[in-house]
Amino acid sequence: MTGFANPLGIAPARTAGLLLVDGLGWELLHAYAEDAPFLAALAADSAPVFAGFPATTAVSLATLGTGRPPGEHGIVGYTFAMPEAGLLNTLTWRSHGDGQRVDLRECLPPEQVQPLGTVAQRAARAGSTMTFAAPRYQEQSGLTRAALRGARFRAARALGDLGAAMLEAAPGQLCYAYHGDLDMLGHRYGPGSLPWRLQLAQVDRLAASVARQLPPGGLLAITGDHGMVEVPASEHLDADSDPALRGGVRLLGGEVRVRHVYTEPGAQADVLAAWQETLGERAWVVSRDEAIAAGWFGPAVTALARDRIGDMIAALRGQAGVVRRVAEPLESSLVGQHGSLTAGEQLLPLLLARADGG
């Protein structure tokens, strides 16, 4: 298709299906290769790609949907501060934190929060249609409107729906199919748990089945949006109860493995010092300017994105996590987490299967 860059050097295809498996990290795929022999065989002939920062679903899907890094598209985390509404939860498009969770799609239109044109819109202008296959609840979600507007939505009720959507793409068309259950089980039971491994095996069978039935000239690509690490309760630091993590903090965004810390006026230096001392070697704790200079959010950061990034950022290392047991009871209870800069969270597979076996 003309008008699109091809930085990964992928050979052209007549039809293409992209299966995004939420939570499928490169290191996890290799660690549990016996549960996914088809995917593991494809991985043996490939190299990993990077998720970007933070390594979390909303950020990665906005990057996939726009072709731009978070410093440009402005979706800079699972939750981040918006002047009009406090913390925005980008998966639910609701207010986040203490109190009632309010739907923000009207007062914070997704098309304005993420104003860049999408890949689906560009494809439509070039005469091609992109289909987005996912659970029905995602059709009018804020994240879909922000990152995937312009795509034709197709409800997927089960794995068979996802496979059929990719196989039924017409010549010159792309189907993007989203599978979220592996991530859900990783969060609930931990990556590498028995439920997680059984789900990985189901994903492997789906990918192998679609690859076997590709039409002539067809391509199936499989990737993830982030990896995942286990964060045991013994490694939790509770920002709701630890005075060293609460003092001078106006809002606390992000998620367990990466935190946007928004400080009270004049308190940034003291808060930065307190977090650095408290977290120590368990995290990279830097100012917003340091994170931007280091390229965490991409090579360029717009004024729109900059205003949403915390005054300081804490990216956790090892198995540590900053939880909020009062404000975020569900998120704090999860075993598997992601978002930070470690290889387990950042490295993703990009696996290609073609109708001719190439």
Could you tell me the CATH number of the domain that includes residue 301? Answer: 3.30.1360.180
CA distance linking residue 358 with residue 271, whole number of Å:
54
Q: What is the pLDDT of residue 17?
A: 95
Query: How far apart are the C-alpha atoms of 348 and 27, rounded to whole Å?
Result: 8
179 falls within a domain: yes
Residues 194 and 306 in one domain: no
| 118 and 196 inside one domain | yes
Residues 287, 346 within the same domain: no
In a domain, 102, yes or no: yes
Domain membership flag for residue 1: no
Q: Does residue 7 lie within any of the structural domains?
A: no
Mark whether 138 and 22 lie in a shared domain: yes
On whether both 115 and 240 belong to a single domain, the answer is no
Q: Which of 100, 101, 99, 73 is nearest to 89 (CA)?
A: 101
Residue 8 CB partners (closer than 8 Å, separation 6+): 49, 350
Q: Are residues 224 and 174 in the same domain?
A: yes
Q: What is the CATH number of the domain that holds 213?
A: 3.40.720.10
Q: What is the pLDDT of residue 200?
A: 98
The pLDDT, as a whole number, for residue 289 is 98
37/28 Cα distance (integer angstroms): 13
Both 200 and 326 in one domain: the answer is no
Considering the domain architecture, whether residues 42 and 77 belong to the same structural domain is answered as yes
Distances (CA, A) of 327 to 77, 239, 323: 17, 10, 9
pTM of the predicted structure, to 2 decimals: 0.95
If asked whether residues 38 and 178 sit together in one domain, one would say: yes
Report how far residue 312's alpha carbon sits from residue 53's, in angstroms, rounded to the nearest whole number. 14
pLDDT score for 101 = 81
Please check whether residues 240 and 332 belong to one and the same domain: yes
pLDDT at 5: 79
Q: Is 9 part of any domain?
A: no
What stretches in the chain show pLDDT beneath 70?
A: 1-3, 357-358
Q: Is 232 exposed, middle or buried (0-12, 13-18, 19+ CB in 10 A)?
A: exposed
Domain count, the chain: 2
Distance CA 159, CA 234 (A): 36
Tell me if 3 is assigned to some domain.
no
Q: Is residue 2 part of a domain?
A: no
Find the helix or strand (DSSP H, E) in which 305 lies.
helix 303-306
Q: Do 210 and 89 sit in the same domain of this protein?
A: yes
> Is 5 within a domain?
no
Domain that holds residue 299: 233-337
**Are 274 and 297 in a shared domain?**
yes
How many angstroms separate the CA atoms of 87 and 59, rounded? 15
